[in-house]
Amino acid sequence: MSLFQALILGIVEGITEFLPISSTGHMILVSEVLKITSSDFVKSFEIFIQLGAIAAVAVLYFRKFFVSFKYILKLLVAFLPTAVLGLIFYKTIKTYLLGSQAVVLWALLLGGIFLIVFELIYKEKTGAVEDPAGITYGQAFAIGLFQSVAMIPGVSRAAATIVGGLILGMKRKAIVEFSFMLAVPTMAAATGLDLIKSSGSLHSADLGLLAAGFVSAFIVAIISIKFLISFIKNHTFVWFGIYRVVIAVIFYLAFIR
């Protein structure tokens, strides 16, 4: 992997991590376009640069993490399903799913269709939760279950948690912010687990690439987060669904057919 490729992947991570279009899926597809050979280091790199996106959330939402101890507990409850299932299926996911173009394309396509249909029939519930701190522990756990589906590359962690929150009766802005903050323990744990499991395959020569990916992901993620918060004030996620379908079809026609 070259420095240029590392920067591009970092930018892609920053753009896609918090949008409902799947960052992991895009990383796999962009790696194919850039002719980056899949390897244990590349897979670890793609997981590691998520820390840049995490840092962006930490900077933008620092104060909200300390609203109350109960809110922190709710984030941890929401994180629990993914933590347990991630530990159980870590090896299977990294060996068989990460890097699979077929899995990504099907997830992007079907997820896009689902997102379009969902938005067309969705009606906000009366008394929807306006503040992310106001969700119950049960709702938090259920959102965590939705999030765990995103362990499949191409599904999108953001889409899974946001749709889950809307179904459970949260206002759009509230679940989007909760999704942002839930990303911190989720991605920190995923990165930490991968670094522990893959420590033997990482070398000092790789630090520059990791740093480049981290910094570019951090800067672009800040812009992406602010964009999404502004976007949802007047728009649904239909266009993201359409984008997912289009990108899946284009990639299939250009690289696989």
Q: At which residue do the structure tokens 């599904």 appear?
A: 155
Asked if residue 196 has pLDDT above 80, the reply is no
Contact 61, 177 (CB under 8 A): yes
Residue 135 CA: distances (Å) to CA of 34, 132, 150, 165, 170:
42, 6, 21, 9, 8
Which tens digits make up the pLDDT trace of 155-177? 888 999 999 999 999 999 999 99
Those residues whose C-beta lies under 8 Å from the C-beta of residue 3, and which sit 6 or more positions away, are 208, 209, 212
The string of DSSP letters for 57-119 reads: HHHHTTGGGGS-HHHHHHHHHHHHHHHHHHHHHHHHIIIIITT-HHHHHHHHHHHHHHHHHHH
Rounded Cα–Cα distance for residues 210 and 234 (Å): 37
Which tens digits make up the pLDDT trace of 204-215? 667 889 899 999
Question: pLDDT-derived band of residue 254, with 50, 70 and 90 as boundaries?
Answer: confident
**Is the model's pTM score more than 0.95?**
no
Q: Which of 36-45, 64-73, 77-86, 99-108 is modeled with the greatest confidence?
A: 77-86
Asked if residue 201 has pLDDT above 70, the reply is no
Which sequence spans correspond to the domains of the chain? 3-256
Which tens digits make up the pLDDT trace of 120-130? 999 988 888 88
Question: pLDDT-derived band of residue 202, with 50, 70 and 90 as boundaries?
Answer: low
